[in-house]
Structure 1
């Protein structure tokens, strides 16, 4: 395998939190502003520390039981230090900047079985535009210099107005990064990646009107990365899988506000994928 530029993995996959798609049940013309902050670390096959922020705005339209989110934009930002082993010890590479802009329209349909039980279905398309900071001479980049398209389907169930169950599946497609250099060399390469598949399950339950608890399981099968060089094609990164668990505490101090406190840890990885973990906080305001 070849050593490559590091792009923050958490910026590059379709990822949801518990109850994200209960917006399918929100009133017409609901607006939501969301801000995330996460501290991710790993000392496994890769050693790094990342501070990741996301800023998101979305608007919900309702047509009876049909919900449409025509405006949903996410702007990520990254500050990272990567610790790279060398023959004489360890060198530190640093990178920071704005990540690729994400446009995320969603359509959803809900079926109300009773006053306390609702089933909902949703489909989302992520359009990741290569607007982020990218420089092939740097080892760490917030941008990826390629387009990415994620297609996600969701089925959810709210029971007794207390318990929420969600199952999600997604597939990601990528265009080529035609401006990359293998780490430690001056060789120009073109990177292409096979599709990535993601599966997610969320379970959450209200403890009180102001407090809920959630647990999530994530499985990601990252597509193989191929590097095209003047001497031929080589496998840069094998197909890798990562399994993760996340715990969430949801706090609603007043009606328009919600605060999520989260801890996420990878529990298994294959073919050299790193085991990482993060602590995070997420603030949202509905109006």
Structure 2
């Protein structure tokens, strides 16, 4: 079974790195391509991830420490023109379940809702002719998710967070698109954490995506990212940040003029101070109304 020190590492990793939107905003390729003002869309994200190892620093913790997650996010967006500037007010509602397995079965399991997220990306460059876009996007996380300090696993974090993302997207050729984004996350305190108030330093992420268009309705895509969740501090004790580098690849299809499917597979390349994902399967449905 997972030992006390290892359990503490695991809990910090869960606090900072389980949800797809926990410490940063993962992008699908083309997320910053725009639609006309007045467009409303609903999105559903589903992710299944399997983790088969736990790391303390860069060293693997002995045993079979497994953690599975099934996470979903319902997202509603509406493109709006404000004084000639395109914005995208939106709300995201995460939900799902987490389950410790094998030597990490002592972590138990959790299910329910994660913390609601409000966001409003704003485009400073919106060149639809040349497919070139530059945007800034603030995200606010609200402590609305399920949280119980007596449980090892929680979907909610019991704290406010704010993320600022900057993204650029363009066409390198008529058939190849490239996106790059960076974001910084500021964490509020969790004053109801086991072991005392949880504080966390700034987190950040850098990521890039590329798409090759097979046709106007389909593409192949791949991406890579590096994230540093920020050092944590509890009861005067500092812990090193969870860091994660990962890749993904997949495809997107417009199955109807207003309906798109995206399917990607990925896994972690390297993790420090946390669980390493062996397999990650993402599905996204986009429906324009």
TM (norm. structure 1) is 0.87
Whether the 8 Å CA contact 1:204–1:213 is kept in 2: the answer is yes
Superposed displacement of residue 160, structure 1: 4.8
Whether the 8 Å CA contact 1:222–1:241 is kept in 2: the answer is yes
- 1:232-243 equivalence runs, <5 A: 233-235=236-238, 237-243=239-245
Equivalence for 1:34: 43
In the alignment, the residues of structure 1 paired with residue 253 and residue 126 of structure 2 have an alpha-carbon distance, to the nearest angstrom, of 27
CA RMSD of the aligned region, Å?
2.0
Whether the 8 Å CA contact 1:108–1:121 is kept in 2: the answer is yes
Aligned length in residues: 267
- Per the alignment, in what secondary structure is the counterpart of residue 46 of structure 2? strand
> Is the radius of gyration larger for structure 1 or structure 2?
1
Kindly tell me: are residues 66 and 136 of structure 1, through their superposed partners in 2, closer, same or farther at Cα, counting changes over 3 Å? same
Equivalence for 1:54: 73
In the alignment, the residues of structure 1 paired with residue 171 and residue 85 of structure 2 have an alpha-carbon distance, to the nearest angstrom, of 17
Whether the 8 Å CA contact 2:19–2:71 is kept in 1: the answer is no
Equivalence for 2:85: 66
Runs of at least 4 residues of structure 1 off by over 6 A? none
Equivalence for 2:7: 3
Q: Deviations over 1:43-77 (max 9, x none)?
A: 110520111000000000236973111x2100000
- 1:82-121 equivalence runs, <5 A: 82-83=100-101, 85=103, 91=106, 93-110=108-125, 112=127, 115=129, 117-121=130-134
Whether the 8 Å CA contact 1:52–1:78 is kept in 2: the answer is yes
In the alignment, the residues of structure 2 paired with residue 33 and residue 169 of structure 1 have an alpha-carbon distance, to the nearest angstrom, of 24
Equivalence for 2:26: 15
Superposed displacement of residue 205, structure 1: 1.8
TM (norm. structure 2) is 0.86
Equivalence for 1:154: 167
In the alignment, the residues of structure 2 paired with residue 201 and residue 137 of structure 1 have an alpha-carbon distance, to the nearest angstrom, of 38
Superposed displacement of residue 9, structure 1: 4.1
Kindly tell me: are residues 191 and 2 of structure 1, through their superposed partners in 2, closer, same or farther at Cα, counting changes over 3 Å? farther
Superposed displacement of residue 20, structure 1: 0.4
Superposed displacement of residue 11, structure 1: 3.6
- Per the alignment, in what secondary structure is the counterpart of residue 226 of structure 1? strand
Whether the 8 Å CA contact 2:247–2:267 is kept in 1: the answer is yes
Superposed displacement of residue 16, structure 1: 1.1
Equivalence for 1:75: 93
Kindly tell me: are residues 202 and 140 of structure 1, through their superposed partners in 2, closer, same or farther at Cα, counting changes over 3 Å? same
Q: Deviations over 1:102-154 (max 9, x none)?
A: 001110033549x4x23211000110000000000111100000001001101
In the alignment, the residues of structure 2 paired with residue 260 and residue 32 of structure 1 have an alpha-carbon distance, to the nearest angstrom, of 15
- Per the alignment, in what secondary structure is the counterpart of residue 156 of structure 2? coil
Whether the 8 Å CA contact 1:35–1:283 is kept in 2: the answer is yes
Whether the 8 Å CA contact 1:151–1:171 is kept in 2: the answer is yes
Q: Where does the alignment leave 5 or more consecutive residues of structure 2 unmatched?
A: 55-64
- Per the alignment, in what secondary structure is the counterpart of residue 33 of structure 2? helix
- Per the alignment, in what secondary structure is the counterpart of residue 220 of structure 2? strand
Equivalence for 2:59: none
In the alignment, the residues of structure 2 paired with residue 219 and residue 255 of structure 1 have an alpha-carbon distance, to the nearest angstrom, of 34
- Per the alignment, in what secondary structure is the counterpart of residue 197 of structure 2? strand
- 1:242-253 equivalence runs, <5 A: 242-253=244-255
Whether the 8 Å CA contact 2:66–2:103 is kept in 1: the answer is no
In the alignment, the residues of structure 2 paired with residue 167 and residue 60 of structure 1 have an alpha-carbon distance, to the nearest angstrom, of 21
- Per the alignment, in what secondary structure is the counterpart of residue 29 of structure 1? coil
